[in-house]
Amino acid sequence: MRIRPIRKKYIFSLLLLAFFPLILVIQQLPSIEQDNRNSEKIDIQQKLLTAYGSVTTTRDLISKRDTKSVHTPLNKIKSNKPAAKVNVKQQRLSQGIIIRGGRRFIRSGGSLSLDLRRQPAFFADELDPTTDWWKAFIELADDLKSVKKDFRCAYMKSRGNWWDCNSYQYKIHEERPCLVYSFGIGNDFRFDDTMATLRCEVHSFDPSMNVSEYTRESGVVFHTFGIGSQNDDSFTPRTNEYIRKEQKSTWKLGKLSTILSNLGHQNMTLDILKLDIEGYEWDVLENIVQEGLLSKVKQLEVEYHIFPDFPKREKYVDVLKTFQSLWKLNFRRYYKFVHQFTPNENMAHLQADVAYVNGY
């Protein structure tokens, strides 16, 4: 029996039938990807709370979430200048957003690193301080817990109990002046002394220590006043595990602008500004942002605190606004470590070390 060969005109039809299911799947991929993104936005807090809260607490917290607000688009960011699509060559900036192969990269000092920015579920400008304090706390915690860094520092160095991004424009050079301000010591000078060995001019500030002003063997100059959101010669601090009742009843505080002027540094750049001031960092940072002083700071290192009783709940939205403003001012995290996170309405607690570089 003779078998007739398949005619060429039928081959195309057979191939089309064979690949038709694959074509349908490919067409569905964009919609599937979009559905996954939408689902991820809605579930972003649920994953966090499931990992860190009890079953009862998780259900209570999720019930307080307005999941419809999770779809807030990026174009609603109320920023003075857009963070994306910076033309590096035309504006002669050392950092900008570069898009290659559909992925976003950050240019810094000639190198490229992935843009790891997370889209917020809530923006502080859209929240009500009285009713949305819990949303503000969860958004802040989610950002700190879910994103390890926004910037990949090529040469991150340990400096005592803190870090230093010692690469490119942030590198400490012995042949040029280096200035470091360290607020909040608690008798631990490891970071300060280490920076002094690099020939930096280091000033340490802590009004809670019962010592007089002096210069350490390392060259660190210790001051008995602290930093505040306003100048105050008789500030009364709250008591906690670091500030006891038998210590000084009042402190002398000064704004960063005042301290820079009094020490003769008003025209200098701070290579590193470190803040570990037990919850007062939020008001201090707000003042620094308002006075436009972050442009003088190359690296910012902050230990963030939210205690169950401090700041007050009605301040949480302002806290989130201050935190989110750092991104708008091109400050990028290269190190982060969360010490404490308690997602409980009655005992909300958050403590995290974050180190930034100024992207200029």
Q: What is the DSSP string of 154-207?
A: TTEEEETTEEEE-SGGG---TTS--EEEEE--TT--HHHHHHHHTT-EEEEE-T
Cis bond before residue 311 (omega within 30° of 0): yes
pLDDT at 249: 79
Full pLDDT tens readout for the chain, 360 residues: 555 555 555 666 777 677 666 666 566 655 555 554 444 444 444 444 444 343 333 334 434 443 333 333 333 333 333 333 333 333 333 345 555 555 545 554 445 455 556 678 889 999 999 999 999 999 999 999 887 788 889 899 999 999 999 887 898 877 778 999 999 999 999 999 999 999 999 999 999 998 999 999 999 999 999 999 999 999 999 876 666 655 667 999 999 999 999 999 999 999 999 999 999 999 999 999 999 999 999 999 999 999 999 999 999 999 999 999 999 999 999 999 999 999 999 999 999 999 999 987
pLDDT at 247: 60
pLDDT at 150: 84
pLDDT at 146: 83
Exposed/middle/buried for residue 236 (C-beta within 10 Å: 0-12, 13-18, 19+)? exposed
Say how many CA atoms lie within 13 Å of 259 toward its Cβ.
Answer: 27
pLDDT at 181: 98
Model confidence, pTM: 0.70
pLDDT at 168: 77
Identify the architecture of domain 132-358 in CATH: 3-Layer(aba) Sandwich (3.40)
Please name the residues in contact with 16: beta carbons below 8 A apart, sequence gap of 6 or more.
none
pLDDT at 13: 72
Separation between Cα atoms, residue 33 and residue 39, nearest integer Å:
10
